[in-house]
Every structure is written in structure tokens, then in C-alpha cells.
Amino acid sequence: MTDSTDSTPAPWLRSLTELVTSAKRDDPMAPVTVLVPTNIAGIIARRHLAHGPSNGAHGIAAIWFTTPSRLAEQLAAPALHAAGRLPATPPVLAALTGSVLAADPGQFGAVASHHATIQSVVRAHAELNDIDPQALDAVAAVSPLSADMVRVHRQLRDRLADGWYESSDILAAATDCIASGTVDTLPLGVLIDYLPGDRTRLEKSFVAALSASRPMQSVSPPTTLSAVDPPAYADRIVTASDSDDEVRAVVREVVAALPTTPAHRVAVLYTDRTPYVRLLHEQLTAAEITINGAGVRPVLERSVPRAILGVLDVARTGWARGDLFRALGEAPVVDRSGEPLPRVRWERTSREAGVIHGDDWSQRLANLRDTHLAIAENVDDDSSAHDRAQRIAAQAEALRLFVADLQARVDGIDAAVTWQQCATRLAELVESLLPLANRDRLPLAEQYAAGALDRAISSLAALDATDAVPSLAAAHDSLVLSLDAVLPRVGRFGEGVYVGPLHEAVGMDLDRVFVVGLSEDIYPGRLHEDSLLPERVRTQSCGQLRSLKDSVRRKERDLVYAFTSAGHVTASFARGDLRKQTARLPSRWLMPTLRSRTGDEQLAATDYQRVHGDWLVSVPSFAAGVTHADAPATEQEWRLRAIASGKAVDGAPLAAHRAMLEARSGDELSAYDGNLAGAQGLPLYADSEEVLSATSLEKYAVCPYAWFAERQLNVKPIEDPDQKLEVTPAVVGNIIHESFDRWVREYEAKDQLPGYGVPWSDTQRDRLLEIAGDVVAAYEAAGQTGHARFWATKRRQILDELAAMVDRDNEWRIARDARVIGSELAFGRDDLPPVMIDTTLGALRFRGAIDKVDETRDGTIHVTDIKTGSPERFRRISEANPVASGAKLQLPLYAHAARARLGRADAQVEAHYWFVLRENHRVRVPLTPDVEATYDHTLSTLVESIQHGLYPQRAPDKADYAFIACHYCNPDGLGHVEPRRRWEQVRDYPVLRTLMRVIEPDVAARLDQPSSEDCEDASDE
């Protein structure tokens, strides 16, 4: 590894050394002040001079490195403070700007109060601070908008003059102090203007005043690529398919350079933060390279500020449920007792309560609490149902109290009379959610962000000196302004590879520099005019406002610094943007290097792909970069390269992934396809105490995998009440069933059920609608009825259908001379014995409830399952196909259950599906010996398949459009094409043949047909 002290210093450092040596020739302690362009340039210069300004001399005594703005602050701050003026912080500027615009919006009109408008005006005001009154008048004369901008600027200056100062005031005051002799510049000693760049008018005036008061020498900066001698070219160019691969390729170059170059003598500079800063930090960290430089994430994007600002945002937008839990999930917040917030449990509780926003937090959580407390009172104290009800009630109450406390604290912030009071209450909110005692457990970056948030909150008190009115919205916007500008640095300068923006290249002295992002669309990129100070305004400012051409020249100068700061320069650019599907060209400032290397002075940017040479590294693709690079940079790249070459790579996750892929592409039903045969813990229903339900077996027949995930793994889709615009079909069915059941039970308790052929009375019909009104109100309070506008129409439809049900039931019973026996005839629950059905597999126990039971005079029992959905899927049910391939199992079970519950084992039973919405339609299934035989075979097959561990994913045969048919086959809502393709493959496997004869008999019949080879063998015999 080379020693950095042997490296030839940059030309500007050599010039600085000569000037300092000259200034200290007679007196080593003679004061020298060096005006540096940036703090980093000052650090580099100081460390360089620490080796000695001349041969044999070491040390940097009596040398002060400072930026012009920092020196001006040192000289002028005492006078400004003595005048009672304080720094104008971003919140102060925003508050005063807002008050100016509120008093007279002018051209800004309806958007005058928007925070984006205020921030744009503040930025324009900062630029206008630097121009003189004559230039201001010229700017105001360009257009009505520019005139209004100048008006706002001048009014803002007037308001600031009373008690605030800006950076422009510091420079002006320092210049006046020097000119008037108020401050003594003698202690500054010899002045050296080191690499002066694009300075503002006030900065130039300040430096000119310094130069007039003290001797000043200058180290001139380079200007353009062509002006540098020798010309500033890169000696190596890297190009890749996109920005991601470009960064990977550059990191490989960095890794290759580090064995011979000290890390602190290497820098990676990017032309644009997006996407380069994140990619560079990720890849260099993955390569285990120590880095320092500009941070990736500003404080505003850290978890603690996001959590607090998120809560304030939620309050401003109505306390939306999803938004609140997203905000609380940003940081490790605590509940009212100081314990970690049970966010996941509470989020589920809020969904169950139907919370959407606003008053739902207090009303619907209270409803959920009361509902489950009532459930707990009506079940056994030792039962699991009692424990669950108590647990949900306690969670609902804890969440209700937490949100109520949070809302009260935020309301207090909004009601604050002074900004000091607002800041105090904000601090109390932060402490209640993120106690100071818990912050030491956070990562250092998050601790820094929490501290920055505390300081920003404290600074709000200064707004009491303005006429800004404290409010929740104003406090939120002020905190955003304060935190958005704070970007913590990573690491310590000089330790590891430096990673930073290209404009920080000024004054650097390195051995190796890598510049990424040198494509034309990024650097210089498309130039955008300022909406408030467009180019036509800037041209009238007497050259005092920076133009677009000035910005382009500054970018070129920054690149010159980078190209001349090191002995070895590598430049890179991406050939395309895969995110935008666009091609890219090399930057105009990279073309001189390409032309010099190729010797073709006429080389066009569009012809760069025909360039070749050992100085050019072209990475065709990610795969090519990994497999053909001289040396991979990260562990991931090493592993990928090994895999690509066919070498075995240790690692259980990779082995498991390979096994899964091989199994799913194989010709057998594997465990990854749902074949768990032989696994421990498979359910056992035949001849056991386990109780089944018809609905459960129906779900298995429709999709065995969905049954397994829901019933065995307890994984269930979570409904989001925020997305419920309309009431779900399930809720409509529950309302109708519950209303009808309560109605029948009420008259059953009074012994007033209609007799044979007797219709329900008008009074009884009216009573049904009254009960339905109560049921509907309960569902409304629980937040399960969707948006009010849609629900109003649906509510009327439900009540109309219930009234029509009475008339249709009357017609049906009169035609059959039937009487009503009861409703919701339960079995296998509420301490009632299950119904036992003997099958060829063994005895099976079932639970359930019959919606309605009637009886005709001849003793025939009629059981009815009320359906509120479409009858389409039931039309194929008949005596010949009573179970619809296993998907409809309720009617035969209910027929058995009616016999058992009524104690009439030999009674004639008929079962019906009654579709009550949109059309009056019934599907009839009599309990005949053939039906019972089919039912026996279906139940035995389904239960046996469950017990054998067969749970393949049977995706629907039609695409999902208006709704998702199977959340387990289409969990992300993007479709189930691949699961369906795999099902159509595995359903042919012999292990599923018995199950297929039940759930897809047509496919099984095709598979059971003898093949042509079998037919030929039979004919030969």
C-alpha cells in the first residue's frame, strides 16, 4: 500500500503551501487566515499544511481556515446581537412569509397559504436578498408575478428588520463594520483567498472589503476542462446497463484499488443523489468498506420524526385508522403504561371493531368492548370462548383509552395560545410516545434524529416574536422545514473512502477518484427554470441573479476539480434507465476523454458504443458483471459467481429454495404442492371426538390448500374497513338470518307460530321489520355496513326483501299446508350434541344450525337453508348430484340433523336451498337412499384426503375481476395464473385420483379411460 505522504499534492495545495510559506518566512507565528470554499476543503488544506509549510518545518500554528460566511458571522454577530436581532430560522421565515401573503395574496391567490408556495417564496426571497435596489426595480418591471414577488420580498425584509437577521444581513453588516473600522482586521494577518468560486454579490463585497483592509493573495481555481494544463481527462471509463449495475461495477473498481491505495486517499463522487447515494452506500457497505461523507437519509426521514409528524398528520386528516397505525409503526412507541405498544394486536382489534376514522375510535371500540363483555357473561367462565371475549374486550378498551389520550394531547397542541405553550405540549406528546429513558436503545442515527426533533420543537417558541398564530398545521409545517434541511454525515472525514456529491470535489487531494452518473440526462441534465424567478427575470437583474448558464458553468467547474484532484480518475455512466425504459448518452464533459482516448476528434456521443480499449470497462449486464469481473466485490456476488459456475454453495436457505423449485417442477405431488402425507399432527375426524362442519368440508372441496391455511395454520385474510365502500354479501346475509331468526324465536317463545297453511299476519310482518331495524342499527354501530351513501339504498333493499320473504313463505306453506316448527335449529354447539353420520370411513360428528324447519300434515319435515347470494352455483344440484362435487354439503346434513333433533329417525325429509334476494328460487334435495349413498362417498373421500395430508392449491378456473375468489391462491390480488397452471398439472397425478372423482369428476373420467396402448394390448389378447 502506498503512503499518502508520497503522493504529489494537487496544484492548488502546492500554491497554498507557497503562499503560507511566504507569509511565515520571517515569523512562524505570523497569523494567516485562509478563506476556503467549503469546510471539507479547509480540512484537506489544514491536514496538508500539517506536514509542514516548508521543508523541515512542521505544524500549522496561527493559521485559521474559515469560509467567508463564517468569518462574516464572527465579525458581525456581536453587533447584530447587541441590536437585539436574532437568527431568522426557517420556521421564522415561513411564519413571516405566511403572514405577508395572508395580508395580501396578490398574484399568489388561492395558493398563497399552501406550504409549498411559502417555501418557494422563501427560496426566491433568499436570492433577492443578494441584489441591490436598482436590480430589484428591474426585476419587478418584468411581469406582474415578478413585481408581486419583489413586493413580498420587501415587506418581508421590513418585518425582519425589527428583530431578525439572515445570512445576507451578516455579510452586509460585516462589510460595513470593516469599511467603518468598527472591527479590527489586524488579527487576521495575511489573507489568502483559496479557490474562490461562484460567490454572491454580498460575498464579493465582503471579500473586497477584507482585501482593502488587509493584504490578500489568491489561489485561483480551474475553470473549464479545456483550460486545465494538461487537459482534465479520466484515465478509465466504466459503463453499464443501468445505474444499479454502474454502481456495482464502480465498487468492484474500488475494491481492486484498495490493496494499493489508502482508503482515505480514495473518493467516490456522485452527480445526483437519486439514485446514486443510496446505491453507493448499500454496495460499499455490502463490500465491508468503511465510508464517510454525506448521509443518505435526512433527519425528516428517520423513524422518530416520521412517527411524531405522522401522528400530527393523522390528526389533521381526521384520525384515519390505517394512517394512525402506520405512524405508530414508524418507531418503538409505548402505550399509556409505558410498555411497548401492541400495534399488531390493536390493529386487528380496530379492524374487528370497524374503525375507519374520527368518532369511530370512541364509539365502535366501545361497542366492541360491550359486545364481548356480554359474550363473556353468557358463556362458561372456564371456556376458551370466555377468555377470548375478555381478552378482546380488554384490548378494545385499552386501545380506546390510548387513542382518546392521544387525541386530547393533539387537541391541546392545536388549542395552544402561544408558541411556547405549543412547544411544551409537543414535547409532552413526544415524551408520552417515545420516553427519553428509552432512546438509548435506538440506533445512533435515530438518537441523533430524536435530538434534532427536540431542538426543532424547542425552537418553535421563538415564533412568539412573530404574528404567526400557533396551530397544529403551523407546528407541523414548521417542524418539517426545520428537519428537512438536516442531513447528518456518515463516519468521520479521513476514515475510509469518501462518498459525496460532485460539488464537494473542490479543494480535494486524492490518489483515486471515481465519478459516477456522467450521463448527459443527469449531468448537466435537463435545466429547469424557477417558477418565481424565471430566466427572463434573471437576465434583467444586472447579472446579480445566477442564470441557467451560470449553473452549467458551475457544474463543469466541479467536474474539473474532480478530474484534477487525483492521479487516477475513473468516470462512469449508465447506458440506460431500466426504470424509465430509456437509453442514455455520455455527458458532454465526458466526450473529451473519449475523443482523446480514441484519437477521433469528431467522435459523436451517439457513436460511443463502437469505442473499445483497455481503458474502457463495459459491463453488458448484471450477470456478465458477476461472472466475468476480475474480482466480485460483495459476498453475494461471490456466491452468485460460484453458483453460476456450477460449484456447490453452502447454505440451508439456498438448498431449501432449490429443493422447492425442483419439487414444484417435478412429476410428483410434493410437500411443496401440498402433499403432507406422513407428517405429524394431521387431523383425524373419523371415529374420533373431533367435530366437523359442512361449511368446512365444502371449503376443502373448493380449495384444499385454502382449507389447510385457514383451518390448520389459522391464517386468514384480514378485511380492511377503510376499503369497504359497500356492505359485503356476508354482512347482508347475517342481517337477514339474524333478523329472521329473532323473529321466529320470538313467536315460538309466545307459542304463536303459524299452523298448517296459516299465513303470517300483518302485525307479525311489521314486527319482523322492527327487529330488522334493531339488527341493522347494531351492524351500523359496528361499522360493517360500508359508506353511508351506498348503505342507504342497500338498507331499503334489505327491509323490502325481508317483507317479501314473509309473503313468499306464506305462499309456499299455504301451497303445501305446512306449519313453522322453528328457526336456527342448532346441533353440536351450545351444549347440544353433534349429529353423528356413519360413513364407510367411520363415524363423523358434525355441528351446525338449520335456518328454518317446517312440517306438512303428512309428517314430512322440510329443512330450509336460507341463501342471500346468487343461485347460479346451485343450479346443477339435483337428486342425481346432491352435493355439487363436494362444494354443497349442507342439505343432506341438515336432513339428518332434523331427524336427530326432532327425535324422528324414520321421518320423510326434504331439504331446500331458498334464495331470497332478487328472485324467489328454491333448490330441493330429498333425502333418498341414493342421495345418502352419494353423501356417504363424498364425505368419506373428503375426510380421508384431509387425514392423508392432501392439500394441493386448487386455484379457480376463471380470472379474478370484481373480487378475489380465493385469497390463498391470489394473496396479492395480481392473479392466480401460476397456481392454476400447476393445479392443471398435478390433478392428473394418481395420488389425487380418488379426490378428483369427487371434486372434478369430468377430469377423473378422462383420466380413468384406458390409454390407446392399453386398448391395443387388449385387442391383441
pLDDT of 545-575, one tens digit each?
A: 999 999 999 999 999 999 999 999 999 999 9
DSSP type of residue 531: S
Q: What's the pLDDT score for residue 222?
A: 76
Under the banding of pLDDT at 50, 70 and 90, the label for residue 728 is confident
Which tens digits make up the pLDDT trace of 768-787? Answer: 999 999 999 988 888 888 88
The pLDDT value recorded for residue 143 is 95
Check pLDDT > 90 for residue 1012: no
Residue 60 pLDDT exceeds 80:
no
pLDDT given at position 657: 84
pLDDT confidence tier of residue 53, bands split at 50, 70 and 90: low
Give pTM, 2 decimals: 0.82
Residue 379 parent element (H or E) = none
Whether the upstream peptide bond of residue 230 has omega within 30° of 0, thus cis, is: yes
Strand 691-693 to 843-856 pairing: parallel
**What is the pLDDT at residue 208?**
96
Q: Are 465 and 88 in contact (CB under 8 A)?
A: no
> And the C-alpha cell for 94?
415561513
Residue 228's H or E segment, with its range, is none
Distance of CA 833 to the CA centre of its chain: 50
Task: Count other C-beta atoms under 10 Å from residue 365's C-beta.
Answer: 27
Q: What does the pLDDT average to over 581-608?
A: 93
Confidence of residue 57 (pLDDT cuts 50, 70, 90): low
pLDDT value at 1020 more than 60: no
- Give the pLDDT band (50/70/90) at residue 8: confident
Whole-number Å distance between alpha carbons of 231 and 593: 9
398 pLDDT above the threshold of 90:
yes
- At 816-839, the pLDDT tens digits run 999 999 999 999 987 889 999 999
In three-state secondary structure terms, 457 is: helix
Per the document, the length of the chain is 1021
Domain segments of the chain: what residues?
A: 86-161, 236-297+492-636, 299-487, 730-774+789-816
Class of the CATH-defined domain 236-297+492-636: alpha beta
d(CA 963, CA 972): 12
> How does pLDDT run across 704-727, given as a tens digit for each residue?
999 999 999 989 887 777 777 788
Residue 295 has pLDDT above 90, yes or no: no
pLDDT in tens, 209-250: 999 999 999 998 877 666 666 667 899 999 999 999 999 999
Dist CA 569 CA 559 (whole Å) = 11
Q: What contacts 959, CB < 8 A, 6 or more positions away? A: 975, 976, 977
Query: What is the pLDDT, as a whole number, of residue 927?
Result: 78
State pLDDT tens for residues 313-327.
Answer: 999 989 999 999 999
| Cα separations in angstroms, 938 against 697, 736, 842, 848, 1010 | 10, 30, 13, 18, 24
Band the pLDDT of 3: cuts 50, 70, 90.
Answer: very low
Q: How many helices (H) and strands (E) does the chain have?
A: 36, 23
58 pLDDT band, cuts 50/70/90, is low
Q: Higher pLDDT residue, 1010 or 406?
A: 406
Residue burial 371-405, b: 16+ Cβ < 10 Å; e: rest: bbbebbeeeeeeeeebeebeebbebbbbbbebbee
The Cα–Cα gap between 233 and 741 comes to 87
DSSP codes of every residue in 589-656: TTHHHHHHHHT-TT--GGGGGG---TTEEEE--HHHHHHHSSS-SSHHHHHHHHHHTT-----HHHHH
Q: What is the CATH class of 299-487?
A: mainly alpha
> Averaging pLDDT over each range in 422-436, 573-587, 1007-1021, which range is the top one?
422-436
pLDDT value, residue 224: 65
**Cis before 524 (ω within 30):** yes
Question: Coil, strand, or helix at residue 199?
Answer: coil
Distance CA 616, CA 612 (A): 6
More confident residue, 654 or 157: 157
Query: In this model, does residue 437 exceed pLDDT 70?
Result: yes
649-660: pLDDT as tens digits: 777 777 888 888
pLDDT at position 310 over 50: yes
* Residue 76 pLDDT exceeds 90: yes
Q: How far apart are CA 850 and CA 865, in angstroms?
A: 6
Q: What is the pLDDT of residue 653?
A: 79
Could you give the percent of the chain with pLDDT greater than 90?
Answer: 69
Amino acid identity for residue 638 in this structure:
W
Helix H or strand E encompassing 164: strand 164-165
Query: In the predicted model, what is the mean pLDDT of residues 447-464?
Result: 94
Grid coordinates of 869: 347470494
Average the pLDDT over 357-368 and give the result: 92
Q: Considering the chain, what is the average pLDDT of its residues?
A: 90
Q: Which of 602, 606, 636, 611 is nearest to 622 (CA)?
A: 636
877-885: list long-range contacts, CB under 8 Å, 24+ apart. Answer: 877/913, 877/923, 877/925, 878/925, 879/925, 879/926, 879/928, 879/930, 879/931, 880/930, 881/934, 882/925, 882/931, 882/934, 882/935, 883/934, 883/935, 883/938, 885/701, 885/998, 885/999, 885/1000, 885/1001
Q: Which residues, at least 6 apart from 155, have a Cβ–Cβ distance to it below 8 Å? A: 100
pLDDT tens-place string over residues 976-992:
999 999 999 999 999 99
Q: Which of 87-91, 363-367, 555-559, 665-669 has the lowest mean pLDDT?
A: 665-669
pLDDT at 5: 43
Q: Report the C-alpha gap between 438 and 447 in whole angstroms.
A: 10
Q: What pLDDT is stored for residue 4 in this prediction? A: 42
Query: For residue 118, is pLDDT > 80?
Result: yes
